[in-house]
Amino acid sequence: MFPLSDLVTHHAKVNRWLIAINVLVFVLVFVISGGYLGQKSLNLLENQLPYLIFVPAVLVAEPVQGTISIFGSMFMHAGLLHLLGNMWFLWVFGDNIEDHLGSVRYLLFYLAGGVAAALAEGFLGGDPYVSMVGASGAVAAVLGAYLVILPKAWIRTYVPPIFIFHVPAYIYLPYWAILQYYSIRAGETGVAFWAHLGGFVFGFLMMLFLRKNRRQAPRGG
């Protein structure tokens, strides 16, 4: 199932800027690598741009470079479909989270979700020498947060080959998370499923925490 849109839309500047930066970085990397996409471009750039590709083992050996590369890798993508998929999910779901949190807190939340996802993949994903790129983990955190604040929102969803349904978020988003879990159990490789799951859990729990604190905040007299 692929989300086409939700029925709750907002004008979100930071979310749009995040999408624009991801696209810009993708174009620049395409040019710098000589027109290559996918793993070949990553192999060419791993030595030239180490701060844009996260390798979990580097975080232990060189903490400064490893930490910076976590943030840099959030804006790198291994291919056009990788970029388009992540940016579409961010377009559909991210504006609502920004509207709920405010622009600054949304940006911090997004980046923190990416960090949590990278650490989940690094410590649980197996080979610590496999490079990791993409906004998937940060986007997954957005999905987890969406489940908390808009569980009853309707998601306009495309189901191949020709079906379009409206599915509530409380069904669509857990279904997505369960798919990530079973992909891990099935031993599928080439995709950072632990990053997806880690980001989703982080986003869900963090939004629960933020909502609880908001409700308990004392009112000024």
Q: Do 69 and 58 meet the contact criterion of CB atoms below 8 Å apart?
A: yes
Q: Evaluate the CA torsion angle 96, 99, 103, 105 in order and state its sign.
A: negative
Q: Do 183 and 193 meet the contact criterion of CB atoms below 8 Å apart?
A: yes
Omega before 3 within 30 of 0, i.e. cis: no
Indicate if the pLDDT at residue 56 is higher than 80.
yes
The answer to which of 50-54, 69-73, 191-195 has the lowest mean pLDDT is 50-54
Contacts of 39-46 spanning 24+ positions with Cβ under 8 A: 39/78, 41/78, 42/76, 42/78, 42/131, 42/133, 46/131
Residue 33 in any domain: the answer is yes
Q: What range defines the domain where residue 160 resides? A: 2-216
Q: What domain count does the chain have?
A: 1
Closest by CA to 100, choosing from 212, 25, 216, 211, is: 211
Residue 180 in any domain: the answer is yes
Residue 87 CB contacts under 8 Å (≥ 6 apart), including other chains: 19, 22, 23, 135
Q: How far apart are CA 184 and CA 196, in angstroms?
A: 10
* Mean pLDDT confidence for 94-112: 95
Confidence of residue 79 (pLDDT cuts 50, 70, 90): confident
Residue 221 in any domain: the answer is no
Residue 157 in any domain: the answer is yes
Confidence of residue 221 (pLDDT cuts 50, 70, 90): very low
Q: Evaluate the CA torsion angle 26, 29, 31, 35 in order and state its sign.
A: negative
* Mean pLDDT confidence for 105-129: 92
CATH code for the domain of 149: 1.20.1540.10
Q: Do 103 and 13 meet the contact criterion of CB atoms below 8 Å apart?
A: yes
Residue 30 in any domain: the answer is yes
Q: How far is CA 91 from CA 37, 77, 86, 187, 190, in A?
A: 23, 16, 9, 30, 24
Q: In the prediction, which pLDDT does 35 show?
A: 62
pTM: 0.89
Residues forming beta bridges with residue 2, ordered by sequence position: 158
* Mean pLDDT confidence for 144-162: 91
Residue 113 in any domain: the answer is yes
Q: How far apart are CA 158 and CA 164, in angstroms?
A: 5
Closest by CA to 8, choosing from 169, 178, 197, is: 169
DSSP 139-175: HHHHHHHHHHH-TT-EEEEEETTTEEEEEEHHHHHHH
